[in-house]
Structure formats: structure tokens, C-alpha cells
Amino acid sequence: MKLLISLLSALVLSQSVLAEPQAKPAQPGLKQAYASHFLIGTALSQGQIEGQDQAALAAREVVQQHFNALTAENVMKWEELQPAEGQFNFGPADALLRLAKQNNASLIGHTLMWHQQTPAWVFTGPDGKPASKALVLQRLTSHINQVMGRYKGQVKGWDVLNEALNEDGTLRDSPWRQILGDDYIATVYQLAHAADPAAELYYNDYNMNNPEKRQGAIRIVQQLQKAGIPISGIGMQGHYGLDYPDLQQVEDSIVAFAATGVQVMITELDITVLPRVDDKAIGADISLNQQLQQQFNPYSQGLPAEVAKLQQERFSGLFRIFLRHSDKISRVTLWGVNDQQSWRNDWPMRGRTDYALLFDRQNQPKAVVNALLQLAAEATR
Ligand code: XIL
């Protein structure tokens, strides 16, 4: 009888508790947990920026709770901002700036100079042949002045130059370098500094753990420093997998980059759980575009718990390193909000089902989020 009464009263109690309007449990966001260490960023698709549908709105709630630095996944690239000469399309980038302000988040500019997602007209002369150095220089100057001018004082920092290095640390033979010559790097940083003297200026690339590429990045920074041209930081993109890269190499790069006197950022972090298609698929060469082969797409019906666990351990291993070097690291940005949006579903092979980020296809936090919150709490104590 006693038991029955206590059971009944427990029931009544729980119902009355349920009847009370409940505030959502105040789970701290990643941005709060990491506030004393570094910014926690994410990259937004155009749909998310424009709040196109329910999924986009749900993603924006995640952004509000967890992220305090925003990068445009695409809408601030050259082909989006100036698809045809003199025709600027600032709408989506303006919307991202508004979103950043609403969320009290830093806006990161990505990217001013890249050999990808730059329209062919930039490198083409009026006669259809490769444009002259003078013409390309004039177009570069105009693009930087228009774009950086518009957002002057509102962008924390720009990925001025993206992916200028080969894996062996030599300079990539991009159209920029071919047309402008080797001093194109000094030129673009000078232009950027003149357009917005207060903005931080970064060099950004993938596979920056690779010791040869690491040396190449250090050379770029030191040459700029020697010439008295401002450079504020190095971005390590961080498109990783379950079995690469060697975490020791990641840590060594962080230490070596910081030793040049600039800040280090992880700018595009994601961890694919899918089998590697080939060795070129280490890194982030966006020109890779293989057709779907089902043997490389094992988790289209869901992710086995043990694989999710491996990914969580990998993220945790990385964040332990980031926390250990938080005096050198100013920001860690994930390349997307949720698994649905991630470019890794389509790179290097189209149409796979990947699980590369921290929030699932319904924008729910994966277990890894709690693990990262805990790591921050332990490091903060
Ligand atoms: C990717 C985007 O995520 C995709 O949506 C787009 O189709 C291709 O570019 N390195 C970079 C990013 O610097 O801009 C790339 O983003 C991924 C590799």
C-alpha cells in the first residue's frame, strides 16, 4: 500500500512538473565552452544564409547556440561575388553579415584569390587569349577594392590567398602565378592591406600537416614579413579522415606556424568516415569528381555506433591538441553545420552518405558534441 501511495504521488508530481511550462535545459554551447580558448566557427551554405526552408532555420538555431565565427561556404568566392566583369552580386554575402551581427559572431572572408571558383573571364583577354598581366592586375585590384571596401571594418579577417602550394612546398602553377609572376603573393597581400588596413589577413591551405607543405607556408609568411607586408595568420583547412593525417604532424605544424609569429587557425574542419577512394583524396583538391561506386558508400542506411565512436575519438584527439596550443590558436571552424550539408557527401566522389560534422542530418548534436564540451570544461578548470 505504502508503495502504491508513493508511486501515485510520484506520478502526480511528475505530471504537475510536466504541466509547468519548462524552459529548455540550458545546455552550454560550444562557443561558450571554448570562449576562453578560441572562437568556434562554422561555414554556411547559401540556403542556410537565406533561411530558405525548415532545415535551414533549424541549422541557424544550431549556429546561434554553438558558433561565434561564420564563414561563407561559397557566397563570398569570386564566381559568386563577381560572376561577370563588373557585375557584383552582394546579396547573399550581405545576408551573412547581418546573420553574423545578429549572432554576435565574427565574419570571416573566404576567399580573395584562388585558382578555383574563379570565373574564366578573369584570366581571359578581349581577344579570347590569356589576359595580359596589366589587365589581370587591374581586375584583381578592382575586385579586392570593391569586395573588401564594401565590408570594411566588418570582416574580422580574410583568407587572402587560398591553396597556393603544391604538396612538396613549391608554388602551385596557377593562372595567377603564370600571369602575374612569383611576386603575385606580395601583390595580393599589399592590395588587401590597403583596402582594409584593420582586417586580419590569412594564408589558407589543405594538408598543412605535411612537413614539406608546412615549410612552403612558412616561406610565404617569412617572405611577406621580410618585405614588411602584413600577414596575421595561417589557416590549416583540416579536411581529415579516420586514419589520416598523423596527429603528431598536425601538432608540429601548429607549433612551427606559431613560431613565425602569426596566429594559427583551423579553418575548414571535417572528418570523413568513408573509405578512401584513392590517395589523391587526402586533402581537398576540389577538382576531384568521381562517379559514385557503391563499394565506397557503405553507410547509406546509417552509421554503425563503432564508427561514430572512432570519429568521436578522432575529433577529441584533435581538440586535445587545439586546447593544448590554445595560446597559438585563435579559431577552429567546422566546414558546415550538419552532415546533410557537408561537401564531403560529394567529394571526392559524388552522391555518398558521409557523417563528417558535429550535428546530424536533423541538426541534432551527435555524441561528439558532449565530448568536446567536456574537454573544454576540463581544460578551463
Ligand atoms: C567547397 C564547398 O564546401 C563546396 O560547396 C563547393 O562546391 C566547393 O568548395 N577548400 C576550400 C573551400 O577552401 O572553399 C572548399 O569548399 C573546400 C576545399
Q: Give residue 37 CA to ligand 1 midpoint distance, Å.
A: 26
Place of cell 574537454: 375
The rounded Cα 161 to chain-centroid distance in angstroms is 15
pTM of the model: 0.93
| Residues carrying an active site annotation | 163, 268
**Average pLDDT of the residues in 30-53:** 97
- Tell me if 233 sits within 8 A of 200, measured CB to CB: yes
Checking if the pLDDT of 23 tops 70, the result is no
DSSP letters, 78-120, are HHHH-SBTTB---HHHHHHHHHHHHTT-EEEEEEEE-SSS--G
- Tell me if 357 sits within 8 A of 342, measured CB to CB: yes
Q: Give residue 232 CA to ligand 1 midpoint distance, Å.
A: 22
Please report, rounded to a whole number, the percentage of residues in the chain having pLDDT higher than 90: 91
Q: Name the least confident of 15-29, 86-100, 126-140.
A: 15-29
Q: In terms of Cα–Cα distance, which of 63, 31, 66, 64 is closest to 45?
A: 63
pLDDT class of 26 with cuts at 50, 70, 90: low
pLDDT class of 80 with cuts at 50, 70, 90: very high
The rounded Cα 275 to chain-centroid distance in angstroms is 22
- Tell me if 308 sits within 8 A of 355, measured CB to CB: yes
Q: Pick from 44, 48, 74 the residue to mutate for probing ligand 1's pocket: most ligand atoms within 8 Å of its CB.
A: 74
Q: Does residue 284 line the site of ligand 1, with CB under 6 A?
A: yes
Span 87-124, pLDDT tens digits: 999 999 999 999 999 999 999 999 999 999 999 999 99
Q: Does residue 73 line the site of ligand 1, with CB under 6 A?
A: yes
Nearest CA to ligand 1 atom 7: 343
Checking if the pLDDT of 64 tops 50, the result is yes
